[in-house]
Amino acid sequence: MKIIVDNNVILDVFQNREPFVELSSKVLRLVETKHVIGYITANSITDIYYVLNRFTDKKETYKYMNILLELIEIIDVTATDIKKALHPEVIDFEEELISVCANNSGIDYIITRNTQDYKNSPVPALTSEDFIKKFFENI
């Protein structure tokens, strides 16, 4: 199974955001143990770095980024992806771009706290809690 992990789920773990950190950690644990293949889009790297670097020092930010890069595969973002994601009906460009990349890459689920932002996505979006339930139902 292949999943894209939205930035908010990753930041929940790295920033120990309550009450989300426990379930978000379970998702990343499934990636770490190779029960699922986890992805992020290339542009998510810069977004995550930016947020982490605002709240921690550079050394700590690099530590987190290296952990992330060991866990997660990166999906390239092309000019075509950007053009496809940028249209007037878009609620949130970042989420639309993730949706486009997920669809192009054969991703099964987008894991996020903001499922409403993906309501028109061809790839189903699940919260960490719903994904964990679904995962353990199917094993």
Closest CA to 124 of 103, 101, 93: 103
- pLDDT in the model for residue 139: 65
- pLDDT tens per residue across span 109-130: 999 999 999 988 999 999 999 9
Neighbours of 116 (CB within 10 A): 11
- Tell me if the domain spanning 2-134 has CATH number 3.30.450.40: no
Q: CA 93 → CA 46, 58, 81, 85, 100, distances in Å? A: 15, 28, 11, 7, 10
What is the DSSP code (8-state) at residue 6?
Answer: P
- CA–CA separation, 125 vs 121, rounded Å? 8
Q: What percent of the chain has pLDDT over 70?
A: 99
- pLDDT tens per residue across span 6-15: 999 999 999 9
- CA–CA separation, 139 vs 134, rounded Å? 9
- Rounded to the nearest integer, the mean pLDDT of the chain is 95
- pLDDT tens per residue across span 86-106: 988 878 899 999 999 999 999
- pLDDT in the model for residue 138: 74
Closest CA to 38 of 62, 74, 13: 74
Average pLDDT over residues 69-78: 97
Is residue 112 classed as helix, strand or coil in its secondary structure? coil
- pLDDT tens per residue across span 13-23: 999 999 999 99
